Each structure stands twice: as C-alpha cells, then as structure tokens.
Structure 1
Amino acid sequence: MLDDTSYAILPSNVGKEQETIHSVGDVQSIIWDGNVLRGKLSKGSFFIYFTEENVLRFGVDPFGKVSETNTIAVVKDKPLSGVQCEEKETEIHLVYQNCKAIICKSPFSVRVENNNDLLFATDSPSVTYTTDKHVMLTVHKSPDAPVYGLGEKSGFLNKNGSKISNWNTDVFAPHNKDTVELYQSIPFAIIHDPEQVSTGIFFDNSYRTEFDMQRYADKMIIRAEGGVINTYVMLGEDIKDTLQLYTKLTGTTPLPPKWSIGYHQSRYSYRSQDEVEKVVALFKKYDIPLDCIFLDIHYMDGYRVFTFDEDRFPRVEQMVSELKEKGIDVVPIVDPGVKQDVEYSVYKEGMLKGYFSKYLSGEVYHGEVWPGASAFPDFFQENVQNWWGSLHECYTQLGIRGIWNDMNEPSVFNDTKTMDLDVMHNLDGKRISHKEGHNLYGIYMSKATFEGLQALMPNTRPFSLTRAGYAGVQRYSAVWTGDNRSHWEHLEMSLPMSMNLGMSGVAFCGADVGGFSSDTTPELLIRWTQLGAFLPYFRNHSVQDSIYQEPWVFGEETMMSVKKYIQLRYRFIPYLYTLFYEAEQTGLPIVRPLVMEYPSDYETFECSDQVMIGSNIMLAPILRPGQTHRAVYFPEGVWYDFWTEEKIEGGAYHLVFADIDTLPIYIKEGTVLPLGSLVNHTKEEQDIEWLVYYSSDKEMVGAVYEDDELSYDYREGSYSLTKITVHKDGQIHVDKSGLLDTIVKSQVGIIGKSEAGE
C-alpha cells in the first residue's frame, strides 16, 4: 500500500488554506423560566442551567434553535430548583448557594465561580463554527494541569498536550500512541488542578469529536463535525468527586455475575466442540482455575449469527450442559452483520419487518463482513432492540448466560471501514445520518444484548462484553481494549488504557492477556498474566494464525508461573468482588491511577506504569523483557511487600527486585485484606482469610461483600457486607449490613505487629 511508504508524506498540503472560523457573537435576548436560561445569539441560540450545585449544563447551536435532547449516555439530568437569575448590564448570573455561573453578553462566554474563586471559564473565542457546520468550544485550562479520561486511548496516562479524536474504528494494525481513534468514543475529560478543583467536561455530541490540547498550552479546543455544543461541566473537589458526578449523570457499572470476573479462556477460534472439550480437559488436568470459555465466529453456520455449525458442534446443548456441571460458562460471539441470504430466517425477518439500516431512499444498506454481504440492524429503534434481544433465546435455552459483541463500531470491509455516512437511522422517530449515529451504534447494540438477556433470564445478571461503545456503555457491557498485539509495548499500554477507561466511567475493563495478534513468548505471557490477574476483566485471547497461548503451551515452568497468578486471581476474588459492588454504588473504578488516591502528590500525575487496585493495593508490574529490577514510587505512608511482608516507607522511590515469578504487590498499612481459599472456579465456596496489615497509629479496616453471586436480589437487601475494624489494642469489631446470613468461614492473621515491637 502506498500509504505505508513515503508517498504518504508528499508535499501536497503545503500552503493549504486555513478554514474560516465564525463566532456566535453576542447575547441578543434571554428568557428565564425559573430553572433554565434560554437565549438568542447573534448566530443561533443557547440554554444553560445547573443540574446540581457543582454541575452546569449549557448548549449552543449556531444554526438555529438549540435542542436540549441528550444522547443515550445520560440517565439523570434535571434542572436544579432554587437557582436565582440576575441580569446585569454586561452579564447574566445564575446563582445557587455559593456557586455562580456567569454568562458574558458580548461576546457570549461562560464562567463558573464558587465563593468568588474562578473554577471554570470558556476562552476566547468561546463558541465558534464553520460553514460546513463544524462546531467548536474553547475552554481555558492551566498549561501544566494533567488531563485524564477520554476512554481507551493509546499512549501514556496524561493526555495534556495531545490531540484526541473520537470515531469508533476497527484497527487491526499495531496500536501505538498515534492510533488515536480506536473502538470506544467517550468525550469526557478530567482536567486536574490540585490547587483548585478537578474539572470534568462531558461533551455529549455523537459526531466525530476532537479534544485539542496541542495547539495552545492554556486552552482545550473541543470540536464536533456536526450537531451542537452540548456540554456538562463538573466541578469536583478531586478526581474521585468529579468521576462520581459523571457516573451519576451517565450511570455506574452494574454488579456483574461473579463468574464473569474469574479467568476466561478464548481463541479465534476453537473451531470444534472436540477442541473446546480438549482445552477444558487440560485446564482440569493441570488443576488451573477456569470460569469461562469463548466461542469465536467459527462456531456459526457460515458465520450466520444465532446459528451453530452442526458439523463442528454436533452436540452443543450437551457441551454447554457438561461444561456448566464443571463450573464453566460458555460465551459465544455475536456480531451485528446479518448475512444476506433470503433463506436465512434472521435476514428474512429483518428485511420483511424493516429492521435493517437503510438509505434515505429506503434501500437497505449491505456491507461486506465475515459472512460476505450483510445487512446491519438499526439498533436505534426500540422494536429492533427488542427483536435482536429476543433472538438470543437460541443461546439462553442452552444455558448460556453471556454474550460477546464484536465488530460493532460498526466495522465493514471497505475503504472507510464502516457504513456509508449517508445511511439513515431511525432514532425512535428522529431520522439521523450514520455520521451522527456511528459512535452510538455499539452502545445501542450493547443495550439490545444486555436487556435482551435480562428479559430471557429473569432475575439473572447477564454478562455482556463489547468492543465498541460511547459514554454510558458501562451500564450495559464490560469493555476490552480490542485487537492488541503480543508486544511488550502493548502490555505497558494496557495499564493507562484501563486506568483512563476507569476514569471515563467504565469500571469493568481489561485487555487480551498475552496479546491477541502476533506470537507471544513465555516471558511475555507470564508478565501479562501477572498484571491481567488484577485487571477487572481477565481473558487470554489470541488470533487464528498465531501460536496458541494457553497456560501449558510453553512447558511446565511457564505453566506453573501462569497458574500461580490465575490462582492468585481467585484468592483476591473476595476483594475484587467487593470493589465491583462499590463501583455500582459509587461510580469509582476498580483499577485506579495513583493520582486518584493521591491527588496532591505531583509524583503521581504522570505515573502510567503503576496502578492501584481499589484504595489499598498497589501494583508495579514488570513491563520489559529480561527486566528483574525497576523503580517504584511509593506514595506517603507505610507499605507492605505482599510476598515478603517487608515494610517500606512511602514518599520516595525505591529500586525493587522482581524475578520472572514475581509481580511487585504492595499493601497499604492499615488495610484488612480479605483473601479467599483456592478454588477451581467462582461457583465453589471460598473460606476467607483476613490479613491485617498492622498500623501502630490508626485503626485497621477492611470489608467483604457477599450475595448469591448471580441474581438481582442484592438490590432488595439480600446481601451481606461485613466490615472489620481491628483496633490498636488488638480488639476486633465486626459490623454487618444486609439481609443475607453468610456461612463463609474466616480467620484473621496480623502482619507486621512483631516488627513494631508490640
């Protein structure tokens, strides 16, 4: 391809004309209805209101009356009552308690103050547009303030100084820091200023968007290739507070079924029932825990979704049943492309009932994917969502409880990699082009899948995994970071990608362990499994033309090390499952950057290669081949080495040693850590061992959450949350909440007390 040669940098763009930017001008008139301020501008119109004391929403349309409609991302948005509006000569003030939004009349701009301290401001020119209907918002920021979030973007943790664009794209080529557009589009950024506030900016616009922090050091220019300026500004005390405001708006990650956070094994593809059963038999032979095995596209009849190839999988009902008896769930892949075949019932029904995406002329769009020419459901229609969801009965009647959605950017095998942009979708009565709907396609498919499974499996938590999505996708699906490679750089990159997904509301996320494409190595598989064992989603997955990478493939020495960390995952399940419960309640992620826990420590701002698991565990994985030493930054306080129980003073860097069999794990002093006994899968009952990491100057605390692991009864109080407090004198106080009586056996061990001389 010429694009892979120097031809790609021909001097054809030298002297290219700059586009002309137009301002929306001044406020011409306003109407205050007691909750919402609306007004006309020199060009277009605007609205603005508080949804909470520290959350402001405003919208601007340079081309007409601005719509106040949200995308599917938003679940809770209501104008706040009790706000006062004061019009002055040059400004309009919206005041709620100590917070004040100030709208400058000429030219139009917005700033927010709290007790007269400036917390947020648009920059000049604040709102602009082009004649091809691109819209732009310019926001002031501190030049040195780190920027986090923005979804699963490649590169380092801090995105300040970058230009980040959002257009869901199927990228099989090796991802690097310049691979900006991947599978998820989450236009939410957190600007962190430790001296003031952490400002969340959610730009709820589904067109292709861009966050430019490269052109100006002190500005963020947010651009959309259509639609309106639809912006939420969240002013939190720190990153946690801001993220909680965002997930209150877009929803939290629901508590998944417990089996979905165990170890999952996959390949593109296990091509037959016999191969699936042999893989499971080897897990049992080597006594390696396993909760789930995946079926990629080769299980289908000619890649037709909702079918099984009877030659390859002749006894699929028996297979699923027998695996379930062994504690193993089966998750099949379901893509959106429906094969063009008039004798195929899904295609036939979809065509007859008008369920597929069409051009304005009424012609159904067909694009090439795995089955060949295929039609694509118009998931924007509620009746299509219901239809698609009901089709999953062919899986649920077999006992299947989880579905994997792939290719839902949507990916099409053509030059643009997706549908024609003039394909039209029916958003329940409103016609929108694919240019507007593209980034929403994946989340609407996830919604159809998740809610379909809920309807087919009453009072059962489904597992849904998606590659593509938009803001709010956490309500429906776990997210994996797509087609990575068996490269050390991709192991390293999976950390900031997962942390930024967490800071974008997606708590249930992970990367393919070992790398999907290319050939892994024994050392890379070990190091990746060490990290993967602590990421929320834990799956080993590889492509058809790569070497296999199941735990035993490279011999006994490698297998024993990989097995050690899969087993360790299960020992930490009580801690992780508790964090998942907290994620639903609070919106906070399982995987957190150090800056989230230590927002005033400047050493944490750029830390991309260490990670917190909850508030109490820190990992410092080895990310380079042949490396056995690395520098680790320990934030303030005292830390315990999980393996040696050695105490380490924080507030400094330390050089640590980690042989091939060791993942550096550190536990914060004062933690009471619940660890489970070894099991073969999550359906087996675990005993709990409470490890108390002794502190001589504060109480030691920990908690464990338990329920029936599968149903929604916990939302009616049928759960047990056990909190343990160990006082300095050794007295243990146990506090339980919830209606569930637990029968888990437990014991307590104290670490570090003897070293303290007590």
Structure 2
Amino acid sequence: MFTKFNDGIVVKNNGKTLQIRIVNSKIINVFITDKDEVRKDTIAIEKRKHNTPCNFDVSENSDIITIKTESLSIIVNLNDFSIKFLNLEGLVINEDYNGGVRFYNNDIRCYKKLNEDHYYGFGEKAGYLDKKGENLEMWNTDELMTHNQGTKLLYQSYPFFIGLNKKYTYGIFFDNSFRSFFDMGFESNEYYYFGAKGGQMNYYFIYGENIKEVVENYTYLTGRINMPPMWSLGNQQSRYSYTPQEKVLEIAKTFREKEIPCDVIYLDIDYMEGYRVFTWNKETFLNYKEMLKKLRDMGFKVITIVDPGVKKDYAYNVYREGIENDYFVKDKFSIPFIGHVWPGESLFPDFLRDDVRHWWADKLKDFVNEGIDGIWNDMNEPSVLDGINKTMPEDNVHYLNGYKILHSEAHNVYATYMAMATQEGLLKSRPNERPFILSRAAFSGIQRYAAVWTGDNRSLYEHLLLMMPMIMNLGLSGQPFSGSDVGGFGDDGQEELFIRWIEAGVFTPFLRIHSANGTREQEPWSFGKRCEDISKKYIKMRYEILPYIYDLFYIASQKGYPVMRPLVFEYQNDENTHNIYDEFMLGDNILVAPVYLPSKEIREVYLPKGIWYDYWNGKEFEGGKHYLIDAPIDVIPLFVKEGAIIPKQNVQAYIGEKQIDELIVELYKGSCGEYIHYEDDGISIKYSSGEYNLTDLKFEYVNGILKIYINRIYSGYKNGIKKYKFVFKNFNKLDKIFINDHEYKAENYVIEI
C-alpha cells in the first residue's frame, strides 16, 4: 500500500520507508531508510522556489508498484524495495541488484546491475576518462603533490556519475556528504554499488537521451555557473610566493614590456602578517595600497589567497571576534578546536552557520575594498597539517540550520559553504560586479559559487596528461570552470615541459601558471627566448579566441555543458571516442591533441567521423580514422570541424584595454554552419536583467555560392559589435558571396562589413 503526494509516493514495509519523488519526467529522487527520519538534501541541490509538480500515474499490482512519467516507468518491488527504471519502450535502463539497498551499522549501500560499457564523471579523479572497473572514494584531501594514476583521494568530491552503453544513457547523483565510495565493477562484473560511511540513501536517477541531456538535467538539480567576469578567462600568473611588493610589480611590468597578455597576478600566503587572514605584511608589503593602484593602472587584477585557519592570537581582531561570538568549529567536548596550519595554532570558522558566513563576508568586504579583485580559497578541505588524515577529527561539531552535525558529515561540503561566504563578501563590496572565487576543495554544486583547479600538481609529464581527464570529468560533473597549475606546482620545471603545458593550458577553461617556493621560477620568459616566444604565441591565441570561449561559458550558464569536453560528449555514437582521454574538444568545433611526452614531435590523433581541417595549414582529413600528425615543439595539433564558425577578436594586453568593436568570424568550409554568439559588458551583473545580445550567424554553401546570414535574435546590450570581418577557410571556390541577401566581393577571402 502506498501514499501518493503531489510530487511522488511513500511506501512503508518491514521497518523501511521508501520515498520516490518525481522532480520532473526524467529526474527521479529515491530515498530509502530504516530509521524514523526525513530526507535531507545537501548544499549540492539548488533550492528552487517554483518547482512545478510533474504529472505521473501510479498503479499497484500484487507486490509491484508502477510509476509512469512522460519519459520513464519506475517499477518498485514491495517485498525488498528494489527498483527498475525503464524507458517508454520497456527497455530497462537501470535496475537494482539482489535487493538493492542494504543497511549496515554505519554503512549504507545501493547495489545495481552492471550493464554499462562506460562510466564517466566523479569530478576530480586521477586515472583515465572511463571509470569502469575502478573503486573510488569521495573525501576531500590535501594530497600534497604525491598523486598518480592510482591515487584515490584528492581535493574535491562529486558523488555523481554517468552510465553509458549502446542503448541508453543515465546519471546517478548520490546526495550524501559523508565519506562515500563507488565500486564500479571492481568487486564483480555483475554489479556495481555506491554508498557512504553514514548519512542517508538519497539519490537522484537522471535519464537522458544522450550524455548532453544527462549533464543538462544534472545541472538543473545542482545549478549552473553564472557568467564569470571576462577578465577571469585571461592569462593569470601566480607563485608561492611573489614577495616583496617590488617583485610583484617587477613581474607585472615584465609582462607588459614583453607584450605577453596577462590579466591577473596572485598573492600567496606571504603577503599576510604572520599568515593572519585579512592582513598585510608590514615589512614586505608596507605600501600595498600604492602597489595595488600601480597594478590597476597597468590593467592587472589582483587575487589574494584566503585560508580558513584563523591564527590563535587574542590581539588579532578576527580571532578575538570569532571567540567572543562563538563562531569557530568545536571538538566533541564543546571546546573550540585548534589545529596547526600556516599561522601555527589556528581555529576554523563554522561556515555551515548563516551568522558565521555573514560575519566572514563582512570581514572580506572590508579587506577587498582596498583594491582586491578576487579571492583564492585554499587549504579548505579543510586541511590540518597535524590532523588525523590531514584534517580535523570527524567527531568535531558543526551546526547546520540550527542542528548539530559532526565533521564526518560537514567535511566534504565545508569548502562550498566557505565559497558561499566568500561570494557574499565580494558582492557586498561590489554589488554590481560579478565575483570571482577560486577554490581548491569542492563538492557538487560548487559551480554556483567558485571556479576550481586540480590542486598541487608537479612538473611532470604524467601530471600534464592527468590534467586532461580530470578537467573533462569535472566538466561532466557540472563544473565547467576548472584548470590546473600550468607548468606544474612542485619540482623544478623544464623548458620543453613548460612549452607543452602552456600549449595545452591555453585551451582549458581556467588558465593559471603557478609554482611552489624553492622551485625554478616559472614565468613565460623563465626558460629562455624560445620558450618565451612560443608561450607568447599561444597566450595571444587565447586572447584571440576569447569570444569563442566566452560563448562556451554562456552555453554552460544555460545548459550546464562543459567548456572543455571529452570527445564522447560530442560523438557518443562513435565508439572510438568512448575512452579517449588525451584529446579534448573546446566546445563543439575545435579538437585539441596535446603532446604530453618528452622529445615527441609526432603524435597519433583520432578524428571523429566527419571532415576536419588542420588549424595550422588547412589540410583536410576524413574523420573516423587515426593519423600521425607532425607536432614540432612550437605546434600543438589542432583541428576544426567542417562547417564551423569561430568568432575571434584582436589581441589585447589585458581584457578591457580597449573597446572591441570588430568581431572576426572565421567560416570553415562545409555545406552549412550555424553559431549563436553572445555578448555583454563582461564585468557587471546587468546581463542577468537582460543587458546582453544574441546573434545568430549561419551560412549555406552550394556550387561555389556562399550565403551568410546575420540575425540579432536578442538585443539588450547597446555597446555590442559594430563591425564584422569574415574570413573564409578552406573554401577553394567562391563565385558569389551574399550577406543577408546583399552581394559582396571578397579580397583575399576576407570581407569587412
């Protein structure tokens, strides 16, 4: 017997309760418990004010309940609460194995039949793209640069995966913030399972006709990125640490003198007074306000690191206020927990509390008002240098919505709540500007608050390779804004490795060069003239294709699609793409095949089905095949698909240096092509109230006649593009060219209108 509600059903039997909620016709929430408790969503689920109940039908026959939506049938066995998900044709997409959910003393698991060929997602994980056969865990960990292909625990946790075989695609999001685990066929080739060391069996089944739809539906649940400030897509330079302030200015001036575009310089922990957050070192940054002004005048943004650890020092106002207002995390004896991090003995704000986040936001507001443009949250796993397993004890106490919870539940979401507080502080300081936050640790849903990077890597070719599947799986897990420490953080960099890393890094969503104390300096000019010239070439290329990259962030804000995509995302029906981890797509038009081994000047490249053009020389390739491509030290293999439209702009020293009035539009030969171009002011939040433009660009090419159409489909931004420059690629015959039905003559395959 079941009870029906507006959004689903509840069934009780044999001491267990099953709740099935219909989020929409393709997203089904399953909650099973053997306790007297209500379902709890984590911070990952974006709270929506207007969830419209979805139409569904329920029927009962003997020991079976069937729920039908417009897209799915859900069959529940009342004897053991095992569940099957079927499409409308009756194909079983996903089903429980041997009873499905099992409860142990402090361990919950859900077993599923293993029928899929591939599993993707899981966020920031080492290894290859496809996770079938692997045993994975989710527990944010300060990994300290020792990771390799087999490392299980890293800085971020995304308990979400996508299952794919020849017949169907689906996703499962396990909404549990405790330490969780996913056995994807490691233990058996008959089943996989997921579970956690505590918490609830609360998961979302997400159906999609393809991977794209699964990601779109998953990000409907967990939220999508807001448009970032455009300057955050530019080149960014960092080191642990640039100090004193004269060194910071020297780095900035060198970028401008060498005409290497750069938008951001980072300040690591040495800018602080004894590593106290929201302070400045009175010796090395005595005139920091003057330094910030000079950097601003040169067109640089400044991002400072802010860690959660607050130094224990009663003379220090942040510590004093935190103690007096009882803002810090406590141990099991209700005493403020003390752990050692960079400042020495430190206490940690309980960011899960609303009042603590508001307090932190106020402190941050006062700090950034002095001229800081963004915040870099580090050590926020949270990392405790003398802690058990590198963090605070799991029985430490937090308060969430007024309820006491232990650190075992709060650990994986701590960084996301800190990012929420940081976002609030930046918006308080500049309510009309888009905030930028970079976070090392994360949980599903972090994309609503912060960009991420893959943590402390090393100057190794292995880590250059690891970067690619990590960022691709982060994108599939809802986080489109991610990157790595270009060149490697730890160890001494080398010229060839740095060149190959910058060649790949300029095509990742987030571009930042970063290196550690005591290692070789790692600016683009640090390895000699050859490296400097090649680095400049590719960084300039990044700035040239920024309109294309910015458009991809707009798509991410609307659909949740990754910016940097695995080939399988675009070519799911091409089985050769299903575990390609060393090539990637930038959007749906550009294929990037980095060189990630030393002394290699030829690399094998797989091109999916279709026609592709070599970006550098225009050579045409038939897809569905592997090719050996020449890749001398200054060349990364790049390919553009037929019919592609690529918007570009003239290069600037930094974003906003001058008004961009002309859009360069490259059209690649094909029978037709279409592209939606987005534009806004790049900095304010006015786009959210309609101040943006959407322009539909399309072409048709038949028998030497090229017809181009420019159609403004939404107009809300007055300072948009005034001039178009069309450049025609691989068109070997152009007898006539029409733009919006007016005939034009091309000079050297270029038209300006």
TM-score, normalization: structure 2?
0.94
Amino acid at match of 2:60: E
Q: Is the CA contact (8 Å cut-off) linking 1:152 and 1:500 kept in structure 2? A: yes
Q: Secondary structure, in 3 states, of the residue corresponding to 1:87? A: strand
Aligned counterparts of 2:19 and 2:453: Cα–Cα separation in 1 = 37
- Counterpart residue number, 2:359: 387
**Match of residue 731, structure 1, among 686, 701, 707:** 707
Aligned counterparts of 2:722 and 2:263: Cα–Cα separation in 1 = 21
- Counterpart residue number, 1:479: 452
**Match of residue 114, structure 2, among 141, 145, 158:** 141
Deviations, residues 416-442 of structure 1 (Å, cap 9, x unaligned):
210111111000211100011110101
Q: State the Cα distance separating 1:321 from its structure 2 match.
A: 1.6
**Match of residue 201, structure 1, among 172, 175, 178:** 172
Q: Secondary structure, in 3 states, of the residue corresponding to 1:560? A: helix
**Match of residue 347, structure 1, among 286, 307, 319:** 319
Q: Secondary structure, in 3 states, of the residue corresponding to 1:284? A: helix
Deviations, residues 128-147 of structure 1 (Å, cap 9, x unaligned):
1222x21000112315x110
Aligned counterparts of 1:209 and 1:651: Cα–Cα separation in 2 = 39
Aligned counterparts of 1:112 and 1:743: Cα–Cα separation in 2 = 49
**Match of residue 438, structure 2, among 459, 465, 480:** 465
Q: Is the CA contact (8 Å cut-off) linking 2:235 and 2:512 kept in structure 1? A: yes
Aligned counterparts of 1:637 and 1:757: Cα–Cα separation in 2 = 25
**Match of residue 486, structure 2, among 502, 508, 513:** 513
Aligned counterparts of 2:482 and 2:674: Cα–Cα separation in 1 = 27
* Structure 1: runs of 5+ lacking an equivalent: 1-28
Q: Indicate the percent of aligned positions where both proteins have the same amino acid.
A: 39
- Counterpart residue number, 1:694: 669
- Counterpart residue number, 2:95: 121
Amino acid at match of 1:733: Y
Matching of residue 456 in structure 1 with residue 432 in structure 2: no
Aligned counterparts of 1:689 and 1:97: Cα–Cα separation in 2 = 44
Which stretch has the larger CA shift, 546-555 or 748-757? 748-757
What are the residue-to-residue correspondences of 1:113-192 with 2, within 5 Å?
A: 113-115=86-88, 116-131=90-105, 133-142=106-115, 145-192=117-164
* Structure 2: runs of 5+ lacking an equivalent: 737-753
Q: Is the CA contact (8 Å cut-off) linking 1:258 and 1:577 kept in structure 2? A: yes
Amino acid at match of 2:724: S
Aligned counterparts of 2:292 and 2:111: Cα–Cα separation in 1 = 54
Aligned counterparts of 2:14 and 2:392: Cα–Cα separation in 1 = 37
Matching of residue 312 in structure 1 with residue 284 in structure 2: yes
Matching of residue 68 in structure 1 with residue 46 in structure 2: no
Deviations, residues 377-415 of structure 1 (Å, cap 9, x unaligned):
000001111111111123321222200000000000124
**Match of residue 182, structure 2, among 188, 211, 221:** 211
Deviations, residues 173-221 of structure 1 (Å, cap 9, x unaligned):
421122111011100000012x322110000000000000111223221
Q: State the Cα distance separating 1:348 from its structure 2 match.
A: 0.2
Matching of residue 230 in structure 1 with residue 202 in structure 2: yes
- Counterpart residue number, 1:502: 475
Amino acid at match of 1:748: F
Q: Is the CA contact (8 Å cut-off) linking 1:74 and 1:249 kept in structure 2? A: yes
Q: State the Cα distance separating 1:457 from its structure 2 match.
A: 0.8
Q: State the Cα distance separating 1:757 from its structure 2 match.
A: 9.6
What are the residue-to-residue correspondences of 1:552-701 with 2, within 5 Å?
A: 552-684=525-657, 685-686=659-660, 687-695=662-670, 698-701=671-674
Q: Is the CA contact (8 Å cut-off) linking 2:353 and 2:400 kept in structure 1? A: yes
- Counterpart residue number, 1:745: 723
Q: Is the CA contact (8 Å cut-off) linking 2:31 and 2:201 kept in structure 1? A: yes
Q: Is the CA contact (8 Å cut-off) linking 1:50 and 1:79 kept in structure 2? A: no
Aligned counterparts of 2:356 and 2:608: Cα–Cα separation in 1 = 51
Matching of residue 40 in structure 1 with residue 29 in structure 2: no
Q: Is the CA contact (8 Å cut-off) linking 2:26 and 2:71 kept in structure 1? A: no
Q: Is the CA contact (8 Å cut-off) linking 2:7 and 2:23 kept in structure 1? A: no
Matching of residue 334 in structure 1 with residue 281 in structure 2: no
Which stretch has the larger CA shift, 197-206 or 67-76? 67-76
Q: 1:180 to 1:354 in 2, by over 3 A?
A: same
Deviations, residues 225-273 of structure 1 (Å, cap 9, x unaligned):
0011001000100100000000000001111000001000000000210
Q: Is the CA contact (8 Å cut-off) linking 1:60 and 1:66 kept in structure 2? A: no
Deviations, residues 130-173 of structure 1 (Å, cap 9, x unaligned):
22x21000112315x11000011011000000001000000114
Q: Secondary structure, in 3 states, of the residue corresponding to 2:677? A: strand
Q: Is the CA contact (8 Å cut-off) linking 2:162 and 2:211 kept in structure 1? A: yes
- Counterpart residue number, 1:3: none
- Aligned pair count reads 724
Amino acid at match of 1:591: M
The alignment's C-alpha RMSD in Å is 1.4
Aligned counterparts of 1:410 and 1:706: Cα–Cα separation in 2 = 38
Q: Deviating runs (4+, > 4 A) in structure 1?
A: 76-79, 755-758
Deviations, residues 445-498 of structure 1 (Å, cap 9, x unaligned):
011101221122111101000000101000000000000000000000100000
- Counterpart residue number, 2:73: 100
**Match of residue 405, structure 1, among 377, 383, 386:** 377
Deviations, residues 59-115 of structure 1 (Å, cap 9, x unaligned):
1122x1242220010015758332222122111111223521111012220111222
Deviations, residues 5-54 of structure 1 (Å, cap 9, x unaligned):
xxxxxxxxxxxxxxxxxxxxxxxx53223432112232432211211111
Which stretch has the larger CA shift, 739-748 or 563-572? 739-748
Aligned counterparts of 1:755 and 1:525: Cα–Cα separation in 2 = 41
Which stretch has the larger CA shift, 36-45 or 240-249? 36-45
Q: 1:101 to 1:753 in 2, by over 3 A?
A: same
- Counterpart residue number, 1:24: none
Q: Secondary structure, in 3 states, of the residue corresponding to 1:45? A: strand
- Counterpart residue number, 1:712: 685
- Counterpart residue number, 1:298: 270
Amino acid at match of 1:326: M
**Match of residue 541, structure 1, among 508, 514, 521:** 514
Amino acid at match of 2:304: P
Which stretch has the larger CA shift, 594-603 or 171-180? 171-180
Aligned counterparts of 1:282 and 1:97: Cα–Cα separation in 2 = 60
Q: Secondary structure, in 3 states, of the residue corresponding to 2:706? A: coil
Aligned counterparts of 2:55 and 2:547: Cα–Cα separation in 1 = 44
Q: 1:342 to 1:98 in 2, by over 3 A?
A: closer
Aligned counterparts of 1:602 and 1:370: Cα–Cα separation in 2 = 49
Q: Is the CA contact (8 Å cut-off) linking 1:706 and 1:720 kept in structure 2? A: yes
Q: State the Cα distance separating 1:286 from its structure 2 match.
A: 0.8
